[in-house]
């Protein structure tokens, strides 16, 4: 009996030892697995941290570059604004007027420009090819050539001025078939004789006299290289007190919006001009601006906007 007892006891001891060894092995293996998992997690976290740091660095670089670019464009806007018609020039030469000028971007392809030469006052409302930075470069070039024609070359008739500017544009940028230039209107006012002469490329001026809206004639071709390169025509009208003339680019009527997301169109713009023509010019400008913003709603502005109204 004692022998059987000791045999059982030894067997139990062996099982206990084996069990303890197995537990130790499981513990060691568990530690190893835990260590491997921790190493893998650490590597993943480090990779993610490195990636996050790299993304953060790239984000900072992009933001710095974007700031530099925006600062440059804002500076370009200052330069462009100095070349637009100044308020003092306009107020000195026009009895009553408004200018609604809404660039699509920071800088604009649309421009309004003015100068005095002898007894005559010149005013342009033009839409250069493109908008934003490319359009702004074109507007600076176009302003330069118009100024050159009047100030340096003493070309005084509006049609002849556009003929000269078109020639300069083709010489400068049109040799490789580019059709950059502008659509626009240039008027020449002689306050003494009450005579107004003008040239119109694709855009036609509007005259409102005695409550009647008249589309003034225009040439259906741009100032620049195009399919048609006939000479521009200088038109003349005699205005009287109470008449109003409007010059504009296509940005306002081309704006999408309204209840169906459609274009505003010229007919609606003309109705607004006629409806409000009896108001003072500051009120006319406000009415046009409010209508444009309401029509546009949450949609993006599609183009630069420039409208000039003059009351005599």
What's the CATH code of the domain at 151?
3.60.40.10
Pair 53, 94 in one domain: no
Q: Where are the alpha helices (DSSP H) in the chain?
A: 2-83, 87-93, 132-147, 158-173, 266-276, 281-296
Give the pLDDT confidence of 90-109 residue by residue, as tens digits.
999 998 999 999 999 888 89
pLDDT band per the 50, 70, 90 thresholds, residue 191: confident
Contact residues for 117 (Cβ-Cβ < 8 A; gap 6+) = 150, 151, 156
pLDDT band per the 50, 70, 90 thresholds, residue 50: low
| Average pLDDT over every residue of 178-203 | 91
| DSSP single-letter state for residue 217 | P
**Count of residues in the chain:** 312
Output helix, strand, coil percentages for the chain, rounded to the nearest 5. 50, 25, 30
Pair 156, 58 in one domain: no
Residue 110, pLDDT > 80, answer yes
* Among 291, 286, 246, 304, CA closest to 110: 304
pLDDT for the residue 26: 55
Pair 251, 148 in one domain: yes
Pair 163, 194 in one domain: yes
pLDDT for the residue 1: 57
Pair 164, 259 in one domain: yes
pLDDT for the residue 132: 77
Find the largest Cα–Cα distance for the chain. 146
Find out whether 250 and 204 touch, Cβ atoms under 8 Å: no
Contact residues for 275 (Cβ-Cβ < 8 A; gap 6+) = none
Choose between 82 and 274: higher pLDDT: 274
d(CA 299, CA 94): 35
Distances (CA, A) of 304 to 244, 286, 301: 23, 17, 8
Pair 97, 5 in one domain: no
Pair 44, 177 in one domain: no
Interior/surface letters 59-85, b for 16+ CB within 10 angstroms, e for the rest: eeeeeeeeeeeeeeeeebbeebeeebb
Pair 283, 206 in one domain: yes
Pair 245, 112 in one domain: yes
Give the pLDDT confidence of 16-43 residue by residue, as tens digits.
665 566 656 655 666 666 667 767 666 6
d(CA 141, CA 107): 14
Give the pLDDT confidence of 135-173 residue by residue, as tens digits.
888 999 999 999 999 999 999 999 999 999 999 999 888
> Between vectors from CA 95 to CA 93 and to CA 96, what angle results, nearest 5°?
120
Which residue range(s) make up the domain with 3?
Answer: 1-83
Contact residues for 272 (Cβ-Cβ < 8 A; gap 6+) = 287, 288, 291
* Number of separate domains in the chain: 2
Pair 154, 291 in one domain: yes
Find out whether 197 and 117 touch, Cβ atoms under 8 Å: no
d(CA 199, CA 160): 9
């Amino acid at each position: 009996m004692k022998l059987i007892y000791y045999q059982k006891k030894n067997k139990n001891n062996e099982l206990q030892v084996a069990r303890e060894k197995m537990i130790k092995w499981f513990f060691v293996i568990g530690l190893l697995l835990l260590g491997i998992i921790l190493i893998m997690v650490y590597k993943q976290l480090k990779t993610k941290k490195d990636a996050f740091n790299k993304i953060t660095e790239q984000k900072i670089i992009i933001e710095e570059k974007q700031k530099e670019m925006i600062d440059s464009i804002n500076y370009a806007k200052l330069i462009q604004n100095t070349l637009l018609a100044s308020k003092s020039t306009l107020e000195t030469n026009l009895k009553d007027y408004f200018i609604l000028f809404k660039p699509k971007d920071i800088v604009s392809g649309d421009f309004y420009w003015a100068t005095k030469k002898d007894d005559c006052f010149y005013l342009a409302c033009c839409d250069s090819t493109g908008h934003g930075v490319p359009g702004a470069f074109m507007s600076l070039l176009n302003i330069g050539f118009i100024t050159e024609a009047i100030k340096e070359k003493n070309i005084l008739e509006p049609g002849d001025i556009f003929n000269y500017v078109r020639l300069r544009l083709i010489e400068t940028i049109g040799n490789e078939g580019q059709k950059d230039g502008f659509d626009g209107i240039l008027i020449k006012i002689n306050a003494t004789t009450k005579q107004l002469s003008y040239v119109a490329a694709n855009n036609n001026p509007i005259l409102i006299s005695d409550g009647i809206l008249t589309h003034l004639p225009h040439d259906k071709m741009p100032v620049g290289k195009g399919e048609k390169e006939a000479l521009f025509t200088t038109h003349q009208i005699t205005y009287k007190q109470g008449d109003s003339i409007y010059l504009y680019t296509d940005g306002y009527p081309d704006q999408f919006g309204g209840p169906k997301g459609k274009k505003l169109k010229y007919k609606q713009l003309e109705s607004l001009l006629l409806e409000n023509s009896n108001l003072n010019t500051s009120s006319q400008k406000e009415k046009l601006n409010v209508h444009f913003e309401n029509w546009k709603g949450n949609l993006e502005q599609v183009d630069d906007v420039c409208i000039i109204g003059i009351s005599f």
